[in-house]
Each structure stands twice: as structure tokens, then as C-alpha cells.
Amino acid sequence: MLTLKQWVHQSVNLPLLSDRIAEFLDRKGFKSKKTSEQDKFLIYGKKPLQEVVVVTVSGKPDDFEVELESAASRDSLMLGSSTTAFGGGGFFLRELKSKEDFEKLEREFWVFVEELVTRLENSARHAS
């Protein structure tokens, strides 16, 4: 599951944006880890007994995108439904719960990021 949004002409300090996203994940009970490469920040979030969530912030301050992805794949959900007939119902229920948890996080995440980008507009111009 992957969702992506793009912003242009915002002049956002991307290191600061990625720091705030990591803090958001921490407040939601995830243990976060942030890494960076040229023009790209990766934030990994992990909760006990749940899939890993990966947030990617990439681009330039005036043209960047944010991706939110769950490491849970559609294949595992499909596999879960096919294994129900073979005693895999518990697996399938865990996958459904994980999907529901991700969808709830996703809704809250995008509201947070939209508000954060608005607050951080022009922050790249003021960064030293």
C-alpha cells in the first residue's frame, strides 16, 4: 500500500519536515529511524507485532513529494485469503487488522503533513 503527494512552490526545509514526520510517528507509538541521501529522506516506523511503515521525502524545497508506504504487500493479503481454507484464518485476520491500522494512520498522517507543509512554507529560505 503506497500513497504519494507532491508540493511545488512551497520552499520547505526538507530536513525539518522529515524530522517532524519522525516525531509524528513516535507520537503514534512507532519507533522511528531516519536516514538521508542526496535529496531524499527515509523515515522507518515500526510498532511491535506490526508491519514497518516507510515515509520517503524527496526532491527540492520548491518541488518535493512525500510517500507513505506500508511494508505489508497486497500479495500477503491475497495469500491470507487463500490460506483460510487451510487453517490460515488467524493469519488473514491479522493482515486485515494491519490493513485497517494502516488506513487509520494514513488518514491522520496526511492531515498532519498538509498542515505541517503549510506551517513550514518558506522555511527553506530561512534555514542557514
Q: How far is CA 46 from the centre of its chain?
A: 11
Instruction: Compute the average pLDDT of residues 45-64.
Output: 92
Name the pLDDT band for 76 (thresholds 50, 70, 90). Answer: very low
Instruction: Compute the average pLDDT of residues 16-45.
Output: 96
Residue that has been written with the C-alpha cell 510517528 in this structure: 25
How many contiguous H segments (helices) and E segments (strands) does the chain have? 4, 5
Tell me the residue range of the domain where 95 lies.
Answer: 2-126
Q: Describe the strand order of the beta sheet including 52-60 as a list of residue ranges.
A: 2-8, 63-70, 52-60, 40-46, 31-37
Stated pTM of the model: 0.80
**Looking at the predicted structure, is the pLDDT value of residue 91 above 80?**
no
Domain count, the chain: 1
Q: What percent of the chain has pLDDT over 70?
A: 78
Instruction: Compute the average pLDDT of residues 57-79.
Output: 78
92 vs 124: which has the higher pLDDT: 124
Angle at 86 between CA 85 and CA 92, to 5 degrees: 70
**44 in Cβ contact with 54 (< 8 Å):** yes
